[in-house]
Amino acid sequence: MNILQINSSARADASHSTRLANDLVSGLRAGRPEAALTVRDVGRQPHPALDEATLQALFTPADQRTPGQAARVAQDDALIAELQAADVLVLAVPMYNFGVPSSLKNWIDAVARANVTFKYTEKGPVGLLTGKKVYVVTTRGGIHRDAPADTQVPYLKTTLAFFGMTDVQFVYAEGLSMGPDAEKKAFASAAEQIAGALAS
């Protein structure tokens, strides 16, 4: 089993989402000690944003790209290869201003490539990354689950399904900025959710 963990927090060692994602991955590996783990921390090492130069590189035939264009496409290729090789994807996603971190959005833009991770057909788009299990660990300062303010979950469900990944399980840690008691309760709840996810 190959596990790919994507951390997207800007907080480095103080990240709640990374901490909980690490706990989940540790649980996965406890049951499968032979599992290989790849960790991509786009919070600490941000991937370049999608811009006009990147689009030009992507739409230039491979044999006609400049060395700079080839290098830029190769950066995205590396992320795609990691995702294709993964059996399990673990996303560590803090909520920033009601959405996902820009670092995670850049990763998503990098792995979204027509005829590689999805394709268009007469009946609409079809995801090409099927058969993967996805865990999303999301941390929030307030309480947003199942509320209109939660744009993360609909966005991630739509995006992952677009790639063909529909077996998605969310773990929530909410109220982390609402005082010590709320924080303690949030971590206890997240631990229970992780235990349940690993048991299912």
Tokens of 92: 């560590």
Per-residue model confidence as pLDDT tens digits over 181-200: 999 999 999 999 999 999 88
Per-residue model confidence as pLDDT tens digits over 92-123: 999 999 999 999 999 999 999 999 999 999 99
Q: What is the rounded end-to-end Cα distance, in angstroms, of the chain?
A: 17
Task: Name the E strands within 13-163.
Answer: 36-41, 88-94, 118-121, 124-127, 133-139
Please state the pTM of the whole predicted model.
0.95
Confidence of residue 9 (pLDDT cuts 50, 70, 90): very high
Residues 90, 6 contacting (CB under 8 angstroms): yes
Per-residue model confidence as pLDDT tens digits over 123-168: 999 999 999 999 999 999 999 999 999 999 999 999 999 999 999 9
